[in-house]
Amino acid sequence: MLMGMLRRIIAVTAMCACVPFVAESAGANATVGDVRTSESDAVEAKMREYGLVDISELDATICVELKYATADNFVGKNMYGGLRKAFFRPEIARAIVAVQRELKRIDSRYSLVIYDAARPQSAQRTMYDMVRGTLKQRYVAKPARGGHHNFGIAVDLSILYDGKPVDMGSGFDTFTEVSHIDNEVWLLRKGLITRAAYDNRRLLRRLMRAQGFTTYKREWWHFQKYDINYARRRFKLLSF
């Protein structure tokens, strides 16, 4: 019993350096199970084989909480098996680290929190199969050709303050217009998002754009680099 509890605490802690925030949401993460498995080692080895890097090795202060590795996502299931680390192409990881440094320069109590990173094609297939034929289908790229996440060139992220997520007006993967970024003045005027949420989104976008990231109009949390057709010619799809 005690060992089980200890293992769970270690597992949850290992997910994210921002312990207070994670400890509060331990219930949601309870389905995570053991972090270290041979399967997760194999996935991590594949990521490195494809030239991707684990961002925590570049900057351990960035919080990583992969939502698709828990049941706390729009599908309600873990689609990532044992994967707990945020992998990216090296230049993408370096750009995110630069954003973290700028954020901490503004206020050291800020931190980025990463909700999704490089996504293997097999996880994309699982995700796509789960939403096929539903209204959510349009938010998930088709697995055969892959989207930005399947090349390690996209990130889903937000900002923490003292380890707690700041107000962004809607939660990660809330697929409604409250998450759109092309109507925020209207959202603010209508009282659908707060002034704080409006400002927080603008702060995140300003810092990400300064590092060359582009946005996606339906998701305040999504940023990417490179045109997808360019990426398909130049980079390897994570076909595992």
CA angle 113, 67, 40 (to 5 degrees): 105
What minimum distance in Å lies between the beta carbon of 9 and Zn ion? 29
DSSP 169: S
Residues forming a β-bridge with 215: 223
Span from 42-50, 106-114, 117-125, 156-164 in contact with Zn ion (CB under 5 A): 156-164
- How do strand 63-64 and strand 110-116 relate by DSSP bridges? parallel
Q: Residue 22 corresponds to which amino acid? A: V
* Closest by CA position to 223, among listed 114, 122, 133, 71: 114
Query: Rounded CA gap, 199 and 179, in Å?
Result: 14
Nearer to Zn ion, 11 or 201 (CB): 201
What distances in angstroms separate CA 230 from CA 153, 171, 225, 226, 234, one per listed residue?
12, 31, 10, 7, 6
The least CB distance from residue 26 to Zn ion, in Å, is 25
Q: Is 156 in the site for Zn ion (CB under 5 A)?
A: yes
Residues that contact Zn ion, how many (by CB under 5 A): 2
Contact between 222 and Zn ion per CB under 5 A:
yes
Instruction: Let me know if 219 is a catalytic residue.
Output: yes
Taking the least distance from each CB to Zn ion, the nearer of 54 and 219 is 219
Considering beta carbons, is residue 14 or 139 the nearer one to Zn ion?
Answer: 139
Q: Among 53-61, 91-99, 203-211, 221-229, which window interacts with Zn ion (CB under 5 A)?
A: 221-229
CB of 6 to Zn ion, least distance (A): 34
* Binding window for Zn ion (CB under 5 A); candidates: 68-76, 86-94, 102-110, 216-224: 216-224
Of residues 63 through 102, those in contact with Zn ion by CB under 5 A are none
User: Distances in Å between the alpha carbon of 202 and those of 163, 199, 206, 209?
Assistant: 20, 5, 6, 10
Residues engaged in binding Zn ion (CB under 5 A): 156, 222
